[in-house]
A and B are shown apart, each in its own frame.
Chain A
Amino acid sequence: MTEFLIANMAPIIFGSLVFFLLLGFPVAFALAANGIVFGFIGIELGLFQPTFFQALPERIFGGIMMNDTLLAIPFFTFMGLILERSGMAEDLLETIGQLFGPIRGGLAYAVILVGAMLAATTGVVAASVISMGLISLPIMLRYGYDRRVASGVIAASGTLAQIIPPSLVLIIIADQLGKSVGDMYKGAFVPGFVLTGLYLGYVLCVSVFFAKAAPALPPEARVFREPSGRTGGISLLLLSIVSVGAAMFWAQTQAADKPTDELIVVAMCIGMAVAFGLASINRITRLALLSKMAERVTFVLIPPLALIFLVLGTIFIGVATPTEGGAMGASGALLMALSRKRLSWSLLKQAMDSTAKLTTFVVFILVGARVFSLTFYGVDGHKWVEHLLTDLPGGQTGFLIVVNALIFFLAFFLDFFELCFIVVPLLGPVADKLGIDLIWFGILLAINMQTSFMHPPFGFALFYLRSVAPTSAYKDHHTGQLTEPVTTGQIYWGAIPFVVIQVIMVGLVIAFPQLVGHDPQLTDAEMNEQGQAVDIQKMLQDDSDADKSREDADKDGAKPGADAAEKDDGDALTKAIRDAAKEK
């Protein structure tokens, strides 16, 4: 019996973890308890030293409390919560809706584009879906959009917040895989755009093949008109050409050796400043050189774009760390809400309260995961997982297919926090062993996990949309027509094409790894570098050595100041992974 237990500790721990989690008790505590219960069993069986748990405070202190990366979680959450109440989403939806409204499927394009912009600023799925569901859905229903198309577009566009930086998922995945958040953000940028493009392509197909499902706005619904009745589109086009021209001109004058990403970021900034300056002059002098539409678009678009620059631009060109970028974004969001007169004490308190709660439950899952992993790695659980996954037929491809199928399936039941903290750390070392680039792998997983928001019937985006979509027939106050409600079935069916698009996107990232800007297959030299991160046994050994030396030092009554640096990095696992990442 004892023999059997010792030989099969890892599968037994894993099996009971699944059972503990399904009991429905908070994940953080179920995870930790699993580690502790089996840690004691391990001590009884003689697998571990009695001092086994002594490493825990250092694991939490060094790996979580001192972790600068995790600090970005409250910052970006706070920024999103302030922005979602600042009225930015409403203005964007209204203006971009007017801009694209006259073409077929225009409102749907507007929802997707605004969804992408909100994703790059607020990064909160719930907020995007609720704003779009309240503002755009009634208009789409009024002008005869197919209910499935309308609800699917809204739910899916809201989930773009998961993949377009600055997203919380990417921060957590980067932390779990021991990679830098900045690299993760850079890698996610192009896939995020491609995904947005695929959504737009879907709407294009719908509007071509099922024209009735996504009609254009009728002329009477277009409000930003010149007194002469013109749309003002030409003026907007001219303004864009001038701004882009200014940006290009500036880029031309720069030295050729300037790094490309810095060049792009600064040039975009200059273009925006030119447009904003022209629109401001036009408004102050009342010259009416610009059309209403051009002026309105500029004033609505520039503040969020400036905020995106402030956050992502500074991270990309290396002026700020992701954590500092988050703090600056949060300050920017406060200023923006203040300037729109939407900031109140109650809003501020509410945002801080929600931020503190989210931070606490996320970090506590991580605490639980670290307690669990001490035991699980202690019994060589990672080797067991590695064994299961590296023996798959098809090597790397087989691994990727199985892992993606697994995550897709788990995403029906689990949300991304649980997937990130429980599944990702198990997969990371295996991917690493197979020579897969971890940035590329992390982004692949993030795109896959995005489906957890769209899967009927548990997807959260669908749930949020349900809570703001009409459940009974109502009278449209514009046209006075009785409008049919949106059924839950329609919301579910609307999401399915987007789940399919998501799967296609996963395939695209596998087929064209250049999208991430990383080669999935590492060279031997890179593998060696990355390989240093995997030798967990050795690190646990280091951990206990460090503990021992500390105890000795205490006994001698010596001041432990000398090895305090090592103490702070007491979590050898984290340290080694960080070091490996730094060297790269």
Chain B
Amino acid sequence: MQGLLKMSGLIDGMNERIGRATIWLILIVVIISAGNAVSRFALNISSNAMLEVQWYMFSAVFMFCSGYVLNKNEHIRIDVVTGRFSARTQNWIDVFGILVFLMPMALLLAYLSWPVFTNAWNSGEISQNPGGLVRWPVRLVMPIGFALLILQGISELIKRVAFLTGAGPNSLDKEAGPSAEQELAEAIKKHQVAPQVVSYVEANHEMVDQPKQGDRK
């Protein structure tokens, strides 16, 4: 079990690093897209390559982050019913879900999207638009994304089983630091708010029972 947990730790670390690197694409694509709009309006220049690179990057963001988001347990769940179950039951449901829901889907899509990539690679598929980009990089994004998801699924499975056999902590319960909302509240308080608010908000963090879905929106 310890060996498996070590492997799980390695996968988590890898997906975390990939996720943290991928987020920069957001800033880059914002700048590219704004630049496209401005140059088209002001200079009357538009480039199909620059338009296409936007959705190449968009695809890369959500595909490369898929494992990272799974690791952080940020995929939306409907937990109105199961939120009341015990930690063991929730972990059992996750074991079932990873084996029956996540794995078949990720394996099937990775398997089906690979030939689409090799096809694009071999044929040198290129965009129909004048000045468009070559297609294989974005075709490659899909199999890579689902492969990352499969790896993270294995890691999550190890962690759930470790908890059920008593070899590890409950990873569904981990506090991943303050949520985005808590950080926002901290920032507002720091700049603006009266001292008494600071004290009662801190007290609230212990008192308010925070549902898991709480930081979704």
Contacts and interface: CB of A to CB of B under 8 A. Distances in A.
B101 A66 contact: no
Contact of A478 (B41, B194, B211): B194
Contacts of B83: 24
A321 B82 CA distance: 42
Interface of A: 20-30, 32-33, 36-37, 53-54, 56-58, 60-61, 65-68, 70-71, 74-75, 78, 81, 84-85, 87, 89-90, 124-127, 130-131, 134-135, 138, 314, 319-321, 323-328, 330-331, 334, 348-350, 352-357, 359-361, 363-365, 368, 371, 413-415, 417-418, 458, 460, 463-464, 466-472, 474-478, 485, 554, 559-561, 564-565, 567-568
B90 interface: yes
A560 B125 contact: yes
Among B109, B127, B138: residue with most chain A CB under 10 A? B109
B187 A85 contact: yes
B75 interface: yes
Contact of A467 (B24, B62, B194, B210): B210
Interface string B97-139: 1001110110011001100100100011111100000000011
Contacts of A60: 109, 113, 142
Contact of A126 (B27, B104, B181): B181
Interface string B173-191: 0000000111111011101
A467 B61 CA distance: 31
Given A65-B59, A352-B26, A467-B210, A127 B34 contact: no
Given A27-B76, A352-B27, A477-B196, A74 B201 contact: no
Given A33-B102, A56-B112, A330-B34, A26 B76 contact: yes
Given A26-B76, A354-B180, 16 more contacts: A22-B78, A57-B142, A68-B54, A68-B55, A74-B61, A81-B180, A124-B217, A125-B217, A138-B197, A350-B180, A359-B62, A360-B65, A361-B74, A364-B69, A567-B125, A568-B127
20 contacts: A27-B75, A54-B112, A56-B112, A60-B142, A70-B58, A71-B55, A127-B184, A130-B185, A135-B193, A327-B31, A328-B37, A330-B34, A352-B27, A355-B23, A359-B62, A361-B76, A364-B66, A415-B213, A458-B80, A470-B197
Contact of B26 (A65, A356, A415): A356
A33 B98 CA distance: 10
A74 B33 CA distance: 12
Given A90-B192, A357-B69, A476-B196, A29 B101 contact: yes
A138 B46 CA distance: 51
**Which DSSP category, helix, strand, loop or mixed, fits chain A's interface?**
helix
B36 interface: yes
B22 interface: yes
Nearest to A129: B181
Contacts of B26: 74, 78, 352, 355-356, 359
B216 interface: yes
Contacts of B94: 25
B72 interface: yes
A24 B82 contact: yes
A308 to B, nearest CB: 16
A475 B196 contact: yes
A466 B54 contact: no
B200 A470 contact: yes
A111 B97 CA distance: 44
A168 B11 CA distance: 33
Contact of A554 (B23, B54, B119, B199): B119
A334 B26 CA distance: 13
Contacts of B211: 463
A24 B69 contact: no
B75 A29 contact: yes
Contacts of B200: 470-472, 474, 485
B43 interface: no
Contact of B185 (A134, A324, A349, A477): A134
Contacts of B184: 84-85, 126-127, 130-131
Contacts of A36: 104-105, 108
Contacts of A87: 191-192
B126 A561 contact: yes
Given A75-B30, A328-B37, A471-B200, A24 B65 contact: no
Contacts of B204: 466-471
Contacts of A357: 65, 68-69, 72, 74
A33 B109 contact: no
B45 interface: no
A561 B62 contact: no
A145 B22 CA distance: 47
A348 B27 CA distance: 9
Q: Which of B78, B100, B126 has its CB near the most chain A CB atoms (within 10 A)?
A: B78
A450 B68 CA distance: 30
Nearest to A421: B76
A124 B26 CA distance: 18
Contacts of B66: 360, 364
Nearest to A68: B55
Given A33-B101, A361-B76, A66 B55 contact: yes
Contacts of A56: 108-109, 112
Contact of B126 (A323, A470, A564): A564
A460 B55 CA distance: 31
A360 B216 CA distance: 12
A71 B28 CA distance: 13
A134 B188 contact: yes
A68 B113 CA distance: 21
Contacts of B54: 68, 71, 323
Interface in B46-95: 54-55, 58-59, 61-62, 65-66, 68-70, 72, 74-83, 85, 90, 93-94
Contacts of B37: 314, 319-321, 324-325, 327-328
A554 B120 CA distance: 11
B202 to A, nearest CB: 11
B62 A134 contact: no
Contacts of B65: 356-357, 359-360
The 7 closest A-B pairs by CB, nearest first: A24-B82, A25-B97, A327-B33, A26-B75, A33-B101, A324-B37, A65-B59
Contacts of B61: 74, 356, 359-360
A360 B69 contact: yes
Contacts of A564: 125-128
Q: Which of B23, B116, B127, B195 has the most CB of A within 10 A?
A: B23
Contacts of A37: 104
Contacts of B85: 24
Contacts of B196: 138, 474-477
A306 to B, nearest CB: 15
Given A22-B81, A29-B105, A349 B30 contact: no
Contacts of B116: 57-58, 61
